[in-house]
Structure 1
Amino acid sequence: MQTHFSLTLAGTEIWLLADKAIYWPERKALLIADVHFGKAAAFRALGQPVPHGTTASNLSRLDALLDRYSCEQVYFLGDFLHAPESRAPLTLEALAQWRSRWPDLAMTLIRGNHDRRAGDPPSSLRITVVSEPFLVGPLSLQHEPDPHPTHHVLAGHVHPVFYLNGRGRQRLRLPCFSVETGLTLLPAFGDFTGGWEIKPAAARRIFVLGDGGIWPLG
């Protein structure tokens, strides 16, 4: 099973990873979008019966990626915390414990729309917060998928998914990467997120994720 797919964008190699992230070998950087830490806690604060453990699950997956790849930098492409209610004590304590496991790892958050509502991460997490677009080499790291005049954009925000049609009315929704001229969309890293349907187009490459693997369509 293929767990990553190598692409060259704007002259630099990136790896699309089966676990909804990008690894950039040249920069030893991991890029994830839309983790939405504390989303379940925010819903519970509103009286909604949603499952526990999503923050722990997301952090465990992130740990696994950092163990697997040689990383000096993590870029969060927006929506680190979901809402003001995400600052529940248990969520913040889990994040603090996670950060203590990676004391030397540089972390940067490109502020997204949910970050503007939730507020920046606690300063104790030592995450540099910047506005978009954030230019690194030939790439523009963003939350919103707005075009950039000179750099290839890596962005999140829309949580791209692809529907596979089975027999009858059966449909399977899977997270995906969408790659087209000037723009690559990352799937939402968070487990507890919705999705926006991506449809095939002549100038668009779609990479579907499922069962620990990644495969290109077409």
Structure 2
Amino acid sequence: MKIQIQNETFILHPSGAVFWESKKIIIISDVHLGKVTHFRKHGIAIPQNAISENFRKITAVLDYFLPEKIIFLGDLFHSVKNAEWNLFEEWLSIHDQETYLITGNHDIIDEIHYKKIGVIVTELLELNHFFFTHHPTEKENLFNFSGHIHPGIVLRGLGLQTLKLRCFFCKPNQMILPAFGEFTGKYFLKPNSEDTVYAIAGNDVVQIKKE
């Protein structure tokens, strides 16, 4: 779905990524690499192929949009380095996009390791009338892209059935991206009259009409 923000075109992708068309930048939040390996190490039964699924999804998004830059909005890795770091390093070596990591609360891997593989690490990034953070943040006269919350929405039918979906949650000067990674969970938000919600339903992104 294409939307306009501050006279710029952004494309909301069903993976949870956002593409800034004029700048050729892909924006991704909360991948939580290493989480599957971490859980499996502690005996939690998560399919092994969930590890490769994160890399497959990111690669598919890059192949579709052909961006020049990648901005990860924090929580790229779930915790300390594990076997998935080696997979990330290998994956990054075959992609030539300039890559930024906006540090999140889970990003505890030392910045020096990212520098060695060419990832630029920063607490926030400001471009034109937009700024990028991990936690939702308000800043006068700028539009904020953030993550952290893993937003979701509950849709209720007339027969009391419910549908729980990931979503892009928009406030007048802010967009909170859904978590990109596998097994990351959702935090369900209730929009008010000023909010706009774009829900991810399978391979589609749909705007949820206000009641």
TM-score by length of 2: 0.92
Aligned partner letter, 2:184: T
CA distance in 2, matches of 1:29, 1:198: 27
Q: Name the residue aligned to 1:59.
A: 55
**Maintained 8 Å contact 1:12/1:138:** no
Runs of at least 4 residues off by over 6 Å:
none
Aligned partner letter, 2:177: L
How many matched pairs? 208
Aligned partner letter, 1:36: H
Q: Name the residue aligned to 2:128.
A: 137
**Maintained 8 Å contact 2:32/2:78:** yes
Q: Name the residue aligned to 2:94.
A: 101
Q: Secondary structure at the match of 1:149?
A: coil
- Whether 1:127 aligns to 2:124 is no
- Give 1:169 shift: 5.2
- Give 1:168 shift: 5.1
Unaligned runs of 5+ in 2: none
CA distance in 2, matches of 1:163, 1:130: 34
- The Cα offsets for residues 51-103 of structure 1, whole Å up to 9 and x where unpaired, read as 3222310111111111111310000000011011xx223x122112211221x
Q: Secondary structure at the match of 2:38?
A: helix
CA distance in 1, matches of 2:206, 2:117: 35
**Maintained 8 Å contact 1:82/1:118:** no
- Whether 1:185 aligns to 2:179 is no
Q: Name the residue aligned to 1:151.
A: 142
CA distance in 1, matches of 2:156, 2:170: 21
Q: Secondary structure at the match of 2:4?
A: strand
CA distance in 2, matches of 1:171, 1:33: 26
CA distance in 2, matches of 1:195, 1:93: 27
Q: Name the residue aligned to 1:172.
A: 163
Q: Secondary structure at the match of 2:53?
A: helix
CA distance in 2, matches of 1:70, 1:50: 31
Q: Secondary structure at the match of 1:75?
A: strand
TM-score by length of 1: 0.89
- Whether 1:205 aligns to 2:199 is no
Q: Secondary structure at the match of 2:92?
A: helix
- The Cα offsets for residues 118-144 of structure 1, whole Å up to 9 and x where unpaired, read as 444544431100012x10111110100
Change in Cα spacing, 1:119 to 1:174, as seen in structure 2 (3 Å) is farther
**Maintained 8 Å contact 2:114/2:121:** no
CA distance in 2, matches of 1:122, 1:45: 24
- Give 1:167 shift: 6.1
CA distance in 1, matches of 2:9, 2:50: 31
Q: Name the residue aligned to 1:88.
A: 82
**Maintained 8 Å contact 2:68/2:98:** yes
Tell which has more relative contact order, 1 or 2 (C-alpha 8 A, sep 6+). 1
Percent identity for Structure 1 against Structure 2: 28
